[in-house]
Structure formats: C-alpha cells, structure tokens
Structure 1
Amino acid sequence: MSSPRANIPNEASHISAPPPCVQKDVESDFTIPMKILPTDTNTNTNANPILNISEEASDKENISPPPPPPPPSNGKHLNVNISKRGNAWDWEVGAIAISFIALLALVVLLIYADGRPLREWSGTLSLNTVVSALGSVSRTSLGFAVSSCLAQDKWNYFRRRPGNLATFDSFDEASRGPWGCFWLIIKLRARHWVVLGALSSILLIGFEPFLQAVISFPGQMDPSIEATKSQIGRSDLLDVGSYVENAGGALTRVRLAPSDESVAFTSFDSLPDPGMRSSFYDGIYNSSFSTKKTASFSCPNGNCTWPIYTSLAICSACTDISSHIQRYAQRGDNLQSLRNPEIDIKDSNFTIVSLPRLNLTNLSNGAANMSKIGKSTVDAYMATTIITDPHFTLNFQNLTTMITTVQMLKAAPGFEAEELKWEDTPVTATECSLYFCVQAFDSEVINGVLTDRIVSTWARRDFATYTAADNSAGHPSLNSKDMYEAYDKWNNYSLYPAYGDVSRTDLELFITNEDVKLSALPQDVTRRFRLTQNTVGTTTRFVNEQLLSKKMTWPAGVGDDTGISSTAQALYQSHNLSTTFANVGSTVTNWMRDISNETQTGMGEEWVTHIAVKWTYLTLPALTILLGLAFSLWSIQETHSLDLDPWKTDMIAVLTHSVDDDTRAQLKVAASNGYLQQAVGGMTVSLEDNGSGLELRRKLE
C-alpha cells in the first residue's frame, strides 16, 4: 500500500531561493536590510512544506486544529477588550461622577463650616480628616478616568490622522503618570486638546497640598455663655448729699442791677456726700499716678464689650490764657501776693503780673530792703482764683453747667531756684473749668483690664429746669417764680449759690437726635439726665468753698486752711494742669457711675478657635476637576464618533492592533542593529482597517 505522502506533489523542488533584497525607508535617510530565511537543502522532497506533518505525529488526537479563518470585514469591529477596566466607559463615567460629587460635597462642607467655632464640629472624624478623605476620593477617581482616556487617545489620535510612531509611545507613557504627561505636552507642542488631560494629570500632584491649605483655625473673641452677667455702671440720675433750707437763717436780698428789683434768698445747710468729697481729693492729689482708677464692672470671663452708652459725668477743659497777661511795676506797701502778718513791707518796689481777676505780685529784686526781709519768706510762685459766674471767665462764658473755673498764674521754675529775677521771670497763665456733662462711653475689658473710650461729650442744659419750685414761690418772704427766673438769667445761670438759694427742681441735661446721629450712637441710648438740687448744691459749694478758695498761693499764706493749702500745692506741682483736671473729672465720674443703680449690660467674650476657609487655595483642585472632566467627556465622545472600541490600557489590544507585518519586520531589524529609536522616529503610521481588522499601518510618501 502506498504512503499518503506519495500523492503529495513535491513543491519544494519548484521553490527557488529569492534573491537578496534591500528595502529603503521612505520616511528616513537610512536603509533597512531585509533578512532572507535560508533554504533547507536537507528537506525531504517528498515532504509537504505547508503541512509539515511528521511521521511521529500520526495520532490525530494530538494535533491542534488550525484557527478558523477571519470573517469577511464589513466595517464593524468586534470588541476584543479583555482589560479589567471593561469594554465600555461605565467605570470611567462612574469615576467622573464620583470625583465631581466628592468635590461638590467638599465645597458644601466648607461653606457650612466656614466661620463656625471649632467646638461645634461634633463628628467622630476631625474636619481635616473628612476634607482629606473627600479630596482623596475626588483626586483618585479623576486620576483613574483621565489615565484611561489618555490611554484611549493613542488610538483616537492615529485613527483620525497619521502621526509619528513615537507619539504612540508618548500617549502610552502619559497614561501612566505626570512625567509622561509632561513629555506628551512637549511632544504635541500643546496644540492638541489632549493636552487638557495631560495638564489635569500633572495638576493632581498639587491637589492634596492645596486642600490641606484650604482650612485654617484662627482664634477670636466671641460672646461667652455668661454674656448677660457682664455689667458696668452708668448714671442717669444723681441724688447725693444733703442740701436743706435753714429755716432759722436770715434772708439775703440781691438787687438785679441796673434795675431796682431785688430777690430774696434763704440760707441752706450743705453736707456733701463723703464719696464725692474723697473722689475730688483723690483726683487732684493722685493726678500724677500712671495707673488711673476705673469704674466698677462685672466681667466673669475677663473679656467683655459693651455697646456705646451714655452717662452723667464731670468734665474738664483747660486753655492757655498767657496772652492776657499784663506786667507792670508799682511802688507801695505790702503789695505782695504771699501774705504774712509778721512781715510789714513799706514803700517798696513790686512787679505785678496780672489777669483781669488775678494778680501774682512779688518784690522786685532791686528792692533796697530785700536783704533785711529775706527773699524766701515773701515770694509766691503761683497764685490762683476761682470764678463761679461763666460771664467772668475768659473762655467759658457759654458754659451754663459750670461747677467752677480756676485761673492760675505760675512762675517759671528758675524763679524758685533763684536763678531769675522776678521782673525777668516768664509766667504762664491757665484757665481750667469743671462742669456737669453727659459723656458717651465705648467700654471693653481685655484680660480683666477695663478701657473706657470717651466717644463724645455734651453740656446741654434744659433751661426750663433747675428753677424755683412751687413751694418756694409760696413762701411769704420770697419772690415769685418769674423773679427767680429773672435772677438766674441775670446771674448767667451760675449753679453756685453765692447769695443763698431757693428750693429748685432737678437740673436736666440732654442730648439731641442730631447728637446721636453725628456720634453714631445706638438709637436706644439714654438722652435725658437729672441731677437733684442736693447734688448740685452740695457739689458746687464743696468745690468752691472747701476744695478750692477764692484766692490760693504757693507757698501758702500764713493762716491758710490746711486742706486748701494741700490743693494749692498739688496744683503747683502739677506738670500738666489739663491732665490734672481731666483726672479729677474721670475720678468723680467713675464714682458717680459706681453708686448709680443703673447698669449697662454688655457682652462677655472668650477666646474661641474658629474654622476659616481660604477659598483661594480651592482654585487648583477645582481647576483640576474641571479640566479632567472636560477632557474625559470629550475623549469618550470622540471614541464613539470614531466608532472605536474603548481599548484604553488593554495590552492585548496593543498586541492585536499594533503595526503591520512589514513595519514590524523593519522594527525587528532596527532593534537588532541598535537603531530602533531612529527607526521609530522616522516612521509615520495611522490606524487603518486592513480588511480583517484595525492595525497601525505605515504611511509611505
């Protein structure tokens, strides 16, 4: 029986070895030699070179069947994607949605948390942890989608246009991370929309650091839980001291010159409030202390604020009146300001420094009898006087709430040091006034220390008040209310009862609506204030009769009241009279506020850590999400429009649809000869259908 092989024609005898050939790369300057497979001269001529079936493999069960032939191409490509990323865009679309939702949730969370106290965050996880988690979800989801789309774009790019084969590798590298994305941008010269995806992949590096910088935790003073316990005194009504009519006292009649009319006054017994007395003394004697006394307050947390409020107060004002000084010489007896009954100075030369209502006079240094008298026993370095009628002041004629005005003449220190002659000594003149007023305060306590800032000051008197009371007009020896009103006007509305007094209504001070507006005060601020006759009478008499006197000198004269001498010394030793009188005013004002039953409720504060969102740092994460979202959606849409399967990062697809056989053969030769990089750089390919599927085919010119 003949062998089956005997019937197979010997085709090997008809196959001749092809001649060596050389193929030139049309896109490069080098030639790629084609390897020729050698002919096997030992091949059995009876063997079939196509089937190549050996005799030892006669067992048909061990022979693998050949693959089925490819179906004819009809323009549709079967999906061969076996990647774990799937053969559709479901994972990428889901990742994009998750990334966007995570970022949106992060923005909503930041809006909610911005400005809130950190203690209000009661979550199990810290705010930073939640923000970091949401940022990580958004970043990783976006990175997954962008990398898939970058991998897919290597197919889309070459399907739409021919390109350098090295670009295919650049796309693949870009899908693996930011470094490849950077070189893809360079490769494409930033002229392709795929650059958006590469840029978003690079920006993902800064996603987390910028998110960490979004949140900060500054501290600030916030209202405390015990805010209602914050109190500070203010005074709307002041009724202190005892000012009572002396029933057995004599009447005093005052003629209202130049008319012939007169009014009668009775004497009043005045007993000032001890607290008021001590506050005046404290203000004058302690004016040089650096630490000033403040009003009493209640602030449990040590940090409190109050809305601007108004209160009765004692105000002061000082002006320099040296321009009114006159200096002249006069000869006479005992003209010196410092009185000493034991010294009788006759027919001597004096130099007088004068104001309209005050003189400071000393012996001229050229006096013949100076050596006999002794200079230190007769020289006065300061002289003062008080004025209770505003009309006779130099700068306070319109001050109708005045308690007193002090005028002072003070010699330069060189005179006391015997460095100057009296007639050559500079002398300064000052006029200071104390008066009832209303002040607006802006108070705050910081670390237990109260600071009062005076916002505005007013001294508006309601002239329909502090007039003779009805019971006074009914007194048989006194005049009618109209006569006392005429007297008040004649007396320039002075509050000091120089000639006696009459029972009066309360003195009222007020501020206007315009004052409230100009000073930006709260609309509910108190606008009217009252001082009883007890307060006005005892205060004005104490200040002008016990604290001060009609004439004071320093050194004090022989026989002067000790208390008044102490006041004179304090005024002389003051380095700044404005500060001294301001200290008197603030000390008495604080006392008035402390004894009042009225308080201003404030707001206690405590140091609270807040959550602050720095929205600027959210710009990079938001820009990254927007770029990645736009790129991914565009890439998915382009894949559909090109009718391509989503091969993405699938290496099986790369092996299946890589370069054609001729190009592969050339690349193998280039690789074996060490110039693969040059060969790849010189090849232009495009993704085309070869009739049995898509492959990267070389484009020849």
Structure 2
Amino acid sequence: MMAHDESSRSRYGSNVTQYTSISEVTSYEGINLSQYPFDPKHNVESTEQQLSPEVVADARRHHVFRFWPWEIGSIFVATGLIVATYSILSHFNGQKVPEWAFSINLNTLIALISTIMRAAMLVGVAEIISQTKWTWFSRPRPLSHLEYFDAASRSVSGSLSLLFVAPGSIFGVLGALITILSLGIGPFTQQAIKTVGCLQIHDDMNASIPLAHFIPGNNTYYRIGAGSFELQVDMKGTMVNGIVNPTGNDTAISPVCATGNCTFPSYQGITHSSIGMCSACIDTTSFISGPDEKHNYTLPNGMWVSPAPDLVYLNVGADNISWAETSFSSELKSVSNWALANITVLSITSATCPDGDCLTSDGAYGSAGLLATSCSLYACVKNYNAEMKKGVLSENLISTRPATPNWVEANAPPSSFISATNYTALQTPCLVGNEWYDLSNISNFPRDPERQFAGINVDGTNYTAPNECLYKVMFPYVEALATFMSTSLLSGTCTYNARQGEALFCREKWWLSSLYNNKQASFDSVSTAFDQFSTAVTNKLRTTGTSNYSPSIKEAAHGIVNEMTVCTVFQWQWLLMPTLLVAATAAVIIAIIIQNLGDHRQPVWKSSLLPLLYYGFGDRHSHHKDPNRPVMDLTELNQAASDMRACFRNSTGGAGFENITPSVDHILRKRGKDVDVDSLIEGI
C-alpha cells in the first residue's frame, strides 16, 4: 500500500510539474506567449527557456498602456472638469447668480468641481513620482531616497523635500511641483468667479411712460359761449405751477417702473414722442426806446416800464410780435403766426447794466438796466430719449417739430383763423407695427379699414399718413389754451418800492414776479422760464391726452423693467493656472509612458511594494535563479504574490517575511492518509 502511495505521489508530483509547465506555456508570467515566436536557440524541452529576454521585453513593451489605465482615465476626467468649469462660468457670465435647491450656489459647484479635478489630477501625479523612483535607483543612491519618493507621492510636504533630495529626477521634480502648485487650484478657481451688482430684465413686469397723440382728453375743457372755450381748473393750476415751480413734482412725469430701473427701446436715439407745447424766444432789448417825458421806457407794441415816478418794474403782455421780425430766428419765423400765444417780457434788472447806460430810480432802486424778451408758445411734437435709474427718470428732449393748422385734413384753404382746423404734426420716421415709414414711403402705407388716415402738407407736398404717425391738437382746445394764456395768465404789470426788498407786487397775478428773478432777470433766465413752463404744460397734456382713434384710450411708451441684483462675472485669467497644471500632468504622463516604451528593462511598478520584496537584498524567490530571466512586471508580481502565503517573523533568530506557502505533501497530509491520489490526479 505504501509502495502504491509513493508511486502515486511520484506520479502526482510529476503531473503537477507538467500542469504548471503547460500553464506557463500559455501564460508565461502574465503574458500570452502563444502570440510570440519561440527562440530557436533554446532547448524546446525546457519550456521556461523557450522565450528569450528580448522577446519577453517586446511583449511587455506592447502592453505598457495596460499598466496606466487609471492614470490616463484620471487625466481625461481632470480635462473634462476644467472644460466644464470654463463652460459653466461662461454660461453664467453676466447672468444673475443662480439660486438652486439646498442653498447650493455657483461657488459651491465650482469648488466641488475643482476639488474632484485636483484629486483626479493627483492620482496620476502620485503614480508618476512612484514610478520615477525605480528609474532613480538605476544608479547608486542613498536608500533613504525611497522614503522621500514615497512621501512625495502622498503629501505636499513630501514633495517639497523631494525638490532638494532628488533635483536630478526630472519627472520626480515635475510631479512634486505639480503637487505643490495644485494647492492653488481651489483658490484660483474661486477667484474666477466675481459677483457684481447688475441690472437684469424682469420679464413679469412692464414699464411705461405716458404720451399723447391727440389732445384734449375727456373733461379737459368746456364751452362758455359761441366759439369760446375754457380750460378745466387742473390745467390752469398746472400752468400757474409751471411758472412759479416748473421743476417740482407736481408737474413731473410719473412713469410706471416697479423696480426704479427701466429702459425703453429706441430708434435713432428716440424712445418715444408726444404732442405738447414748445417755446422759442429772442432778445428784443434793442427795441426799447426812452425815457420819454414820463420817464417811461417803451417797446414798439406800447409796453413800458418806469423806474420813477410810477415804479413799474415788470410788464408782461401777449400780443403780436411782428414788430421784432427783423430779429426773428428761423424757428420763430416758422411758428410765430400759428403760436398759441406770443408773449413779451419787459423788465428793469440788475443783471444787464452796461457801463454808462444804467438807469437811476431816485434812490429807490439804484443802478439798473433794461431787458426785453419775446417768446412764442406753440403746439409741437416732442421726441425724447428716456431711461430710469435708481428711481429717477432721465428724459432728454432730442428734437421737436411744430404742429400747424392742417388745411389738407380740413379740406379748406389756408387761413389765419385759429379755430378752423386741428393743429397737426407728421412724425417721421414713424414705427407702425414692425415697419418704419418716412416721407419716401408713408403714402404707400397699406390701406387697412381698421386704421384711420389723414392728409397733411409738408414743405408744399401733400401726403396721406395713418393716424399712428400724426399728432394733433383739436381746434377748440387751441382756442381755450390761447385765451387763458393771453388774457389771464401771461399779462400784467408789477410794481416795486424799497420796502419790498427784492420782491415785486403784481396784484392778483402774483406768479408773474418769478419772471423778475429777484432783480436778476436776463434773457437766459426768461427763456429758461418759458422752456420750463412749456415742459410742465406738455407733461400735463401727456397725462390727459389720448389716442387719435378714441378719446378714452390712454397711450404710453412701453419699456423693459430691470431688476438690480447680483450677477456673475467670469474672470477667465484665473483659470490659466489650473489649466496649465492639468496640461502639465497630461504631458508628464505621456512622457513617462513613452519612457516605459523605450526602456524594456524597467517594468511599470509604480507605487507597488512587491518589487522590494521580490527583488530586494538577495534572492528570495526561486524565479531569481535564472539570471537571463526578465524581472516580472506589476501584473506578474501581483499574480505571483496572490499564489504565495507569507508571514513576517520578528525574532532574535532573524526578521523578515517568510514563505509559508503549503507544499503538495502538506496538502495531502491535511486531507488524510486514505486519500485516493489517483483520483486527485484525474481531477486535475
């Protein structure tokens, strides 16, 4: 029985050796040898000598890339994340800071991306440093350098040490520098995000500014007799306020803008237009004559002032100003005949007192000069550019166009009779729908039965235009405006005496004293006063006026509501450093792979400890007995290590790892003496 067991064990051992040999032929040290030719110099009976070291090295070189999959993948991840960072920040550049669930903001997202990007990048850097140490020890080095390389692959402090320990290791130094500089990835990516105050469009709100195509609106005037009309009290109050306090809130336009920041679309700088009132003034001081025997200084229209004895220091009157036609400006020539009112202001003033030409008022006034200013107040279209910032409306007047009697619409010959027809102005260019029209194409406007058209004469040529392009003042309202301004508002005299200080006494028309400007009346002050008065009246007309189509339709220029919020600004320059680090990492990985391809003697071991155990000080494994046999690569080492059991012995007899892999005999003894060896062999 024992003889049988020994014979069986002998056959088992032989068969095990043969099985191992066959395995090595098909997969020698982790390499599929069936793909490579045998070396004819070796004995075919020795399977382990059928491959030359050069053939095995070529096979390993062919499989270098399989040892760097995680590192290559990590650099693709890092590259994708830096591209994602650029894309995300570019998308939100100039946009409102996004508000996401769970209080996550853009900074949080970019911080998370940069953290993952740095981790992915350092995966490859750590293995580059670890692989470099094997090349570093191709020449005699202090063994302590192993520890420095290992620490450098794990920490920034270790990388700092490696710069001084192994400055000649190019890849090691590059890897250490990348590790150190990677600390800046987080701060630099955060610096790429800047938040600033900005205006964003609020889609749920609308902005508007009132305007009018047609005046008057409902309940703005009334009839008092045949051909006579009177303004409502609110317009009268507006006119008085327009003289004494023209820039106050009572006469200001109130736009609709919920956030206080609104913009309005424009064309050629014009955001909106409205019918209103304009003024044109000239200096007529040169027409003053006197003093006469009554000490009066007189204008050709009979208006006078007298420093003594009557003490009339201000005289305001409404009358024809054709007596000053030789001084008319081009604007005044075109509008004076059709003005709502022509007003002349004659005043004694301290603002104009040429040397040797001053008046003396018997000590009541002292030295003084004279001023005469004549102005026309006329209907017109006003073109504006408007925007609203921080709750303040900025409305700038761009241009004006006079509105004159439209004899074409009235189908009557031209006449000076003021109440014969509407005062009308044609606005060009004019936007109707999505098309702009001017004098060249407005007569070709498509005839739509839902639209109203009217004829108008411009510079001697008749045109037919839609009501959207026409701005009108109805003739009864022209009569009401002209009557009130000429007879009640802007006519009267004011007196002065020393006990009044700088004030004038204007009897029941107290508001005229503002034109006196506290003894400082000048052409600029008077023309500015009439301009501000016209603006105040226009603002009132814009709120009471209507559409040309219906007196019940209020019109407005619509705009965009902007909301002051916090926006993101992408400062891309701060991403250059992270981008360069990712690019440098990719370049070093490519370079070290190329080095591995060129150096067939050095396998890819990276951070593995197994090479130190298998190829440390002295031979510790039977594989080392053949000096011609190439060292194992990482896959081969892992396979060999998985088949071996070891124990670390630390005793007085010696210290180190001891191979405790059980033998076949030990396995057989554990299974029992009555094991059928032949059946075991057959099972194999």
TM-score normalised by structure 2 residue count: 0.62
The change in CA–CA distance for 1:174 and 1:436 in structure 2 (over 3 A counts) is same
Secondary structure, counterpart of 2:183 in structure 1: helix
Q: 1:462 touches 1:510 (CA, 8 Å); kept in 2?
A: no
Q: State whether residues 506 and 512 of structure 2, in contact with CA within 8 Å, keep that contact through their aligned partners in structure 1.
A: no
Q: Deviations over 1:550-604 (max 9, x none)?
A: x634459xxx997763243232246633443233222211211111322233333
Q: In 1, distance between residues paired with 2:151 and 2:281?
A: 85
| Contact 1:295/1:590, CA 8 A, preserved across alignment | yes
- Which of 207, 211, 215 is equivalent to 1:238? 215
Alpha-carbon distance in structure 2 between the residues aligned to 1:191 and 1:405? 96
Classify the secondary structure of the residue corresponding to 1:398. Answer: helix
**Counterpart selection for 1:314 from 271, 277, 282:** 277
Question: Does residue 203 in structure 1 map to residue 181 in structure 2?
Answer: yes
SS of the residue 2:111 aligns to: helix
CA distance in 2, matches of 1:510, 1:166: 97
| 1:240-279 CA distance string (max 9 Å, x none) | 66687976xxxxxxxxxxxxxxxxxxxx323233332221
Where 1:459 maps in the other structure, the secondary structure is strand
User: Does the CA-based 8 Å contact 2:297-2:305 persist in structure 1?
Assistant: yes
- Consecutive unaligned residues in structure 1, runs of 5 or more: 1-69, 248-267, 336-349, 365-374, 471-480, 489-500, 662-688, 696-701
> Residue 552 of structure 1 aligns with which residue?
493
Structure 1 residue matching 2:134: 3-state secondary structure: helix
Q: Can you list the C-alpha shifts for 1:18-69, whole angstroms capped at 9, x where unaligned?
A: xxxxxxxxxxxxxxxxxxxxxxxxxxxxxxxxxxxxxxxxxxxxxxxxxxxx
Asked if structure 1 preserves the Cα contact closer than 8 Å seen for 2:401 and 2:425, the reply is yes
- Which runs of 5 or more structure 2 residues have no equivalent in the other structure? 1-47, 266-270, 352-357, 439-467, 498-503, 546-553, 620-625, 633-684
Query: Aligned equivalents of 2:571 and 2:437: distance in 1?
Result: 38
- Quote the offset at 1:639 in angstroms: 1.3
Deviations 1:429-476 (A, max 9, x none): 4344422222223444556x451412412124466x157946xxxxxx
The residue type equivalent to 1:99 in the other structure is A
State the partner residue of 1:380: 312
* Pair 1:532 & 2:532 matched: no
Contact persistence 2:495–2:505 (CA under 8 A): no
Pairwise CA distance, 1:650: 3.3
Flag the 1:146–1:522 CA change in 2: closer, same or farther, 3 A: farther
Contact persistence 1:548–1:564 (CA under 8 A):
no
One-letter amino acid of the structure 2 residue matched with residue 650 of structure 1: S
Structure index of larger Rg: 1
The count of aligned residue pairs is 503
The answer to whether the Cα contact below 8 Å between 1:441 and 1:452 also exists between their aligned partners in 2 is no
Task: Report the more deviating stretch, 149-158 or 207-216.
Answer: 149-158
Aligned pairs for 1:102-121 within 5 A: 102-118=81-97, 121=100
1:409 maps onto 2:346 in alignment:
yes
1:535 and 1:77, CA in 2 relative to 1: closer, same or farther beyond 3 A? same
Contact 1:243–1:534 (CA under 8 A) maintained in structure 2: no
- The reply to whether residue 506 of structure 1 matches residue 485 of structure 2 is no
Find 1:457's aligned residue among 353, 378, 399: 399
Identity score, percent? 21
Tell me, in whole angstroms, the C-alpha distance in 1 between the residues paired with 2:185 and 2:477. 73
- Provide the rounded CA distance (Å) in 1 between the counterparts of 2:318 and 2:418: 23
Assess if the C-alpha contact under 8 Å between 1:391 and 1:398 holds in 2.
no
Q: Does 2:535 align with 1:586?
A: yes
Which amino acid in structure 1 is aligned with residue 570 of structure 2? Answer: V
Distance 1:444 1:76, change over 3 A: same
2: CA distance, partners of 1:213 / 1:523: 47
Mapped partners of 1:112, 1:130: distance in 2: 14
1:543 deviation in Å?
Answer: 0.9
Distance across 2 between alignment mates of 1:391 and 1:459? 25
1:606 partnered with 2:606: no
1:112 deviation in Å? 3.9
Does 2:251 match 1:293?
yes
2:345 maps to amino acid: M
Verify: 1:143 aligned to 2:86, yes or no. Answer: no
Pairs within 5 Å for 1:208-607 = 208-228=186-206, 230-239=207-216, 268-287=227-246, 291=249, 293-307=251-265, 308-318=271-281, 320-322=283-285, 324=286, 328-330=290-292, 332=293, 335=294, 350=295, 353=297, 356-357=300-301, 360-362=304-306, 378-389=310-321, 392=324, 394-396=327-329, 397-400=332-335, 402-413=339-350, 424-446=367-389, 449-461=391-403, 465-466=406-407, 469=410, 481-482=412-413, 485=414, 487-488=415-416, 501=417, 504-513=420-429, 523=436, 527-549=469-491, 552-555=493-496, 565-573=509-517, 576-596=525-545, 597-607=554-564
Amino acid at match of 1:435: Y
| 1:591-634 deviation digits (Å, cap 9, x = unpaired) | 11111322233333433444443322222222211111111122
Higher mean C-alpha displacement, 313-322 vs 593-602: 313-322
Instruction: Check 1:148–1:311 CA distance in 2 against 1; reply closer, same or farther (3 A cut).
Output: same
Partner SS for 1:505: coil
TM-score (norm 1): 0.60
Post-superposition Cα deviations, 1:136-176, rounded to whole Å, max 9, x if no partner, equal 111011112012112223434676xx697799667666434
1:456-510 alpha-carbon deviations (Å, 9 max, x no partner):
12124466x157946xxxxxxxxxx44xx2x54xxxxxxxxxxxx4752211112
- Larger mean CA deviation between 577-586 and 636-645 belongs to 577-586
Question: In the TM superposition, what whole-angstrom CA distance separates every residue of 1:75-117 from its partner, at most 9, and x where no partner exists?
Answer: 57899x9xxxx99222222322332233333334334444443
Aligned amino acid, residue 424 of structure 2: E
Return the offset for 1:219. 3.8
Query: Are 1:615 and 2:579 matched, yes or no?
Result: no
